[in-house]
């Protein structure tokens, strides 16, 4: 079974976090929701509190994963970008040729941690300039939709497609009543 971690930082965008976890689990991927600073409830961008499954310190013991997912949210992205533990996890992903999937503002962590400069990313329009400063161009790792909360289903389904195949990803659309 493919493995994934979804990183959860204070200020994360709730929809991008929960939808990603849900769709990946429906897609047969073993997902751990990982708190940057412990397992206490994390205060997200719209006043929702989400409880992580484990800590980043614990999750790093099982790295690399098939995918590391980074939800956005302006403050969540800033917290991902400031974490040396996130940098270490992302470097492990790159060294082991594993997937990194960042949505909305989260790709700024790639710039801050100097992860694959010159690679292609997709991000919220509000951070496009920051991405270009870091020599990142749009569309990273075939995840073609990841601009923000409204594209999270497409983002997560693309991850399922990459890890589990197009047929598996497509099989999730009808039961969720998605209109893509």
pLDDT in tens, 19-29: 999 999 999 99
In total, how many domains does the chain have?
A: 1
Residue 98 scores a pLDDT above 50: yes
Distance, CA of 167 to CA of 80 (rounded, Å): 32
142 confidence band (pLDDT: 50, 70, 90) = very low
Q: Which of 44, 55, 48, 50 is nearest to 21 (CA)?
A: 50
Residue 179 belongs to some domain of the structure = no
Q: What is the CATH number of the domain that holds 76?
A: 3.40.50.880
Tokens of 58: 């614990």
Domain extent, residue 60, equals 3-173
Residue 178 belongs to some domain of the structure = no
Q: Which helix (H) or strand (E) holds 112?
A: helix 108-112
Residue 180 belongs to some domain of the structure = no
Q: What amino acid positions are annotated as catalytic residues?
A: 104, 124
Residue 141 belongs to some domain of the structure = yes
Distance, CA of 138 to CA of 125 (rounded, Å): 10
Mean pLDDT (whole number) for 48-60? 96
In this prediction, residue 147 carries a pLDDT of 60
Distance, CA of 101 to CA of 83 (rounded, Å): 17
Residue 89 scores a pLDDT above 90: yes
The structure's pTM equals 0.87
Distance, CA of 169 to CA of 136 (rounded, Å): 27
Residue 118 scores a pLDDT above 60: no
Residue 73 belongs to some domain of the structure = yes
Q: What percentage of the chain has pLDDT greater than the value 90?
A: 64
């Amino acid at each position: 079974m493919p493995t994934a971690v979804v990183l959860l930082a204070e200020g994360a965008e709730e929809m991008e976090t929960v939808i990603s976890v849900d769709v990946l689990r429906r897609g047969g991927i073993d997902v751990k929701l990982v708190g940057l600073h412990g397992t206490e409830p994390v205060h997200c961008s719209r006043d929702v509190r989400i409880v992580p499954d484990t800590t980043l310190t614990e999750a790093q013991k099982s790295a690399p994963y098939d995918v590391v997912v980074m939800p956005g949210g302006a403050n969540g992205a800033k917290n991902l970008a400031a974490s040396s533990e996130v940098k270490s996890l992302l470097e492990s992903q790159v060294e082991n040729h594993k997937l990194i999937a960042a949505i909305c503002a989260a790709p700024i962590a790639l710039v801050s941690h100097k992860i694959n400069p010159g690679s292609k990313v997709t991000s919220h329009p509000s951070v496009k300039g920051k991405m270009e400063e870091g020599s990142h161009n749009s569309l990273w790792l075939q995840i073609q939709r990841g601009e923000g909360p409204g594209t999270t289903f497409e983002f997560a389904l693309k991850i399922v497609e990459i890890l589990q195949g197009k047929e598996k990803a497509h099989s999730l659309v009808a039961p969720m009543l998605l209109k893509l």
